[in-house]
């Protein structure tokens, strides 16, 4: 659906009227699919998000399910004492100035974790503290548990999964295994026969390997990236997470997938730098190396955006036997043949 900033200027003013703001505003489209607009007023800044990705069902614009879902995720985090975006307005129908459901949030304080890490990359103390505080926040988020897996709507999934309906792979180890095997089938032309066989062997027991880590279902961001966490300093210059954004996939499920998604981004941005030690320290525990790597092997190609072919990425992941190897990507080393050995993690 085409939405333009020209259409939004008058609409944004009308939306601001709904929350009692009548001063002139400026509007900037900062992201498409989902569409996100920055609405700046003299005294405040807001972000309006409307869910426009192509995989949302047509009825979403009528039911406002995605808005209800993301609003509920924010509300649930706040109810557990976690800083979260301030949802100023959540409209679930077309009956509003935009003509479709949307979420309006107030700008978070501070800067994104990625921005701050780049700024403080020569300051080891600040670097470690930023990652440690983010790890603490993730641990608190992941300590929220549920009876059933699935999307969080009205503070919890409705009930057990229906195996006849679409499922996200973070909801069950069974679905992750199904997705991994299907993806491998589609990617065979990009991979050596030896790599295909190794992955088939690993994926054949994936459900059994991961099933225990899906229980109990935990609050999971679902599409977690380091740049989605915002941090600021309080009055005594202590770093605090002010919130995390883009909770559209928030679910009860496999919370360690959030760390996997962060790892993919951190390797791309800071390969060769030890970011995992302070992050895991803040998180309070170190994940199991083998099941963490197994999740990485299940990740789709478009999730990586590493400067490498699919074969090179798999070579790298299969070869690694410790965190420092897993999180330091070297394309030339990934071209070297190395038999996969299921070693225990060693530092």
CATH label of the domain that carries residue 138: 3.90.1200.10
Give the Å distances, CA to CA, from 195 to 74, 127, 236, 334.
41, 37, 52, 13
Are 124 and 139 in the same domain? yes
Half-sphere exposure (Cβ direction) of 98: Cα atoms closer than 13 Å: 28
For residue 88, give the CATH number of its domain.
Answer: 3.30.200.20
Query: How many CB atoms within 10 Å of residue 184?
Result: 18
Number of structural domains the chain divides into: 2
- On whether residue 340 sits in a domain, the answer given is no
Are 90 and 29 in the same domain? yes
- Phi/psi for 293 (5° steps) reads -65, -35
Residue carrying the six token digits 């995605």:
66
Residue carrying the six token digits 């190794």:
198
Q: String of b and e for 67-76 (b: at least 16 CB within 10 Å)?
A: bbbbbbbbeb
Flag residues of the chain having pLDDT under 70.
1-7, 331-347
Are 242 and 320 in the same domain? yes
| CA separation for the pair 61, 200 (Å, rounded) | 40
| CA separation for the pair 143, 220 (Å, rounded) | 10
Residues 6+ apart with CB under 8 A from 83: 137, 240, 241, 242, 243
Are 183 and 102 in the same domain? no
| CA separation for the pair 217, 313 (Å, rounded) | 29
Are 256 and 319 in the same domain? yes
Residues 6+ apart with CB under 8 A from 176: 169, 170, 206, 207, 210, 254, 295, 298
- On whether residue 347 sits in a domain, the answer given is no
Are 29 and 160 in the same domain? no
Are 244 and 286 in the same domain? yes
Structural domain range at position 97: 5-106
Model confidence, pTM? 0.92
- On whether residue 217 sits in a domain, the answer given is yes
**Torsion over CA of 123, 125, 130 and 135, rounded to 10 degrees?**
140
**What pLDDT score does 335 carry?**
61
Which of 82, 106, 130 corresponds to the end of one domain? 106
Which of 73, 91, 106 corresponds to the end of one domain? 106
- On whether residue 238 sits in a domain, the answer given is yes
Short-list 140, 115, 136, 216, CA closest to 172: 216
Are 158 and 291 in the same domain? yes
Q: At what angle do helices 289-298 and 256-270 cross, to 10 degrees?
A: 80
**What pLDDT score does 8 carry?**
75
Query: How many CB atoms within 10 Å of residue 204?
Result: 13
**What pLDDT score does 58 carry?**
87
- On whether residue 91 sits in a domain, the answer given is yes
- On whether residue 180 sits in a domain, the answer given is yes
| CA separation for the pair 335, 347 (Å, rounded) | 23
Length of the chain: 347
**What pLDDT score does 188 carry?**
97
Which of 60, 81, 106 corresponds to the end of one domain? 106
């Amino acid at each position: 659906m085409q939405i333009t900033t020209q259409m939004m200027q008058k609409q944004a003013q009308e939306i601001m009227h709904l929350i009692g703001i009548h001063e002139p505003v400026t509007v900037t489209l900062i992201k498409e699919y989902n569409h996100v607009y920055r609405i700046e007023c003299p005294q405040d800044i807001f972000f309006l998000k409307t869910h426009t990705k192509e995989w949302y069902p047509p009825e979403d614009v009528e039911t406002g399910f995605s808005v209800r879902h993301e609003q509920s995720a924010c509300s649930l985090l706040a109810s557990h004492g976690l800083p979260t975006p301030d949802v100023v307005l959540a409209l679930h129908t077309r009956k509003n100035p935009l003509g479709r459901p949307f979420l309006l949030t107030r700008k978070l304080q501070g800067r994104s974790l990625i921005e701050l890490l780049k700024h403080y990359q020569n300051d080891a103390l600040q670097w470690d503290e930023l990652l440690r505080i983010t790890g603490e926040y993730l641990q608190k988020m992941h300590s929220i548990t549920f009876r059933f897996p699935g999307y969080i709507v009205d503070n919890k999934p409705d009930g057990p999964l229906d195996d006849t309906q679409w499922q996200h792979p973070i909801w069950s180890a069974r679905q992750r295994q199904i997705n991994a095997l299907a993806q491998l089938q589609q990617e065979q032309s990009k991979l050596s026969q030896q790599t295909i066989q190794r992955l088939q062997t690993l994926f054949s027991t994936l459900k059994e390997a991961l099933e225990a880590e899906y229980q109990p279902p935990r609050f999971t961001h679902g599409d977690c990236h380091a740049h989605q966490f915002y941090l600021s300093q309080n009055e005594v210059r202590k770093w605090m997470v002010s919130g995390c954004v883009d909770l559209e996939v928030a679910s009860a499920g496999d919370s360690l997938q959030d760390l996997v998604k962060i790892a993919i981004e951190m390797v791309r941005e800071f390969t060769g730098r030890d970011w995992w030690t302070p992050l895991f320290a803040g998180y309070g525990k170190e994940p199991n190396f083998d099941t963490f790597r197994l999740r990485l092997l299940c990740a789709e190609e478009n999730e990586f955006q590493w400067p490498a072919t699919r074969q090179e990425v798999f070579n790298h992941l299969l070869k690694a036997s410790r965190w420092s190897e897993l999180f330091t990507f070297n394309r030339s080393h990934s071209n070297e043949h190395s038999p996969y050995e299921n070693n225990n993690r060693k530092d």
